[in-house]
């Protein structure tokens, strides 16, 4: 009998394995908590040793301290996973003509190359099982663009394309691939942008939150990581066999404009 995400064996053991990148905090940690609570064994990947080890202890999973720009380290991660959540990301805010090339390249390696390598690594096992779930944490910036975020927007658009190609190739094997596209989520990555955005726009941090972060959302609040994790858990579950190649916005109607 094939087990799907969140389904435990009759003896209560965990039979589904998930791997989540960027799992030390924010969306990644929320996803790890949600999937573990559903019965999955979780592998948590992050560069933050203390954070990812705390998260692993909390969820009963395994911590992997990995720099996702290191291809050999990525290649050493577990391949026998049923659910892959590509979540790790970083941000840098600067005008295009001033954007550091090395930072642009690093963002692409973490947010595009690493997901490619992990999908490539995990697909054979998923194919052998006849079931698998790939959930890519994209962004509203995978569907829209904003000034001063050339690397992030380029990476998220690339991730959307990678996810769709994966969906087309993997469908016959019972594997789905989807993107989740949140607006601004209450995470450390967001707070890290406040001062940079304030300086770029000549605004206070409070004005950035109101005029930049929430300007295009019809719901005037930040998204909680747990709200994103709930959608991830649904996409990783047994009720979404026909849902693949999709981009699921959680953006307060931002993309309705």
Catalytic residue set:
152
SS3 8: strand
CB 115 within 8 A of CB 159: yes
Q: What angle do CA 146, 148, 154 make, to 5 degrees?
A: 65
Residue 147: name the closest of 99, 179, 187 by CA.
99
**With the C-alpha atoms ordered 243, 113, 249, 87, is the resulting torsion angle positive or negative?**
positive
Distinct helix (H) and strand (E) counts, the chain: 9, 7
Q: Extract the tokens encoding 215.
A: 């300007």
CB count within 10 Å of CB 247 equals 18
């Amino acid at each position: 009998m094939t087990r799907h995400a969140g389904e435990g064996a009759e003896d209560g053991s965990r039979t589904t394995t998930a791997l989540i990148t960027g799992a030390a905090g924010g969306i990644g940690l929320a996803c790890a908590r949600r999937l573990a609570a559903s019965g999955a064994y979780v592998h948590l990947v992050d560069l933050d040793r203390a954070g990812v080890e705390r998260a692993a202890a909390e969820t009963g999973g395994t911590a992997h301290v990995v720099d996702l720009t290191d291809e050999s380290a990525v290649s050493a991660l577990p391949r026998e996973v049923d659910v892959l959540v590509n979540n790790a990301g970083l941000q840098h805010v600067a005008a295009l003509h001033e954007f550091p090339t090395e930072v642009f390249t690093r963002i692409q390696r973490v947010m595009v190359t690493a997901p490619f390598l992990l999908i490539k690594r995990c697909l054979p096992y998923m194919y052998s099982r006849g079931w698998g779930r790939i959930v890519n944490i994209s962004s509203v910036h995978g569907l829209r663009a904003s000034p001063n975020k050339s690397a992030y927007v380029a990476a998220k658009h690339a991730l959307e394309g990678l996810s769709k190609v994966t969906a087309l190739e993997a469908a016959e094997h019972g594997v789905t691939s989807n993107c989740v596209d949140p607006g601004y989520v209450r995470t450390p990555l967001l707070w890290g942008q406040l001062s940079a955005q304030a300086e770029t726009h000549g605004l206070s941090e409070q004005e950035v939150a109101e005029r930049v972060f929430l300007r295009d959302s019809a719901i005037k609040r930040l998204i909680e990581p747990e709200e994103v994790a709930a959608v991830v858990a649904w996409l990783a579950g047994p009720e979404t066999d026909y849902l693949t190649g999709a981009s699921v916005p959680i953006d307060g109607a931002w993309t309705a404009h």
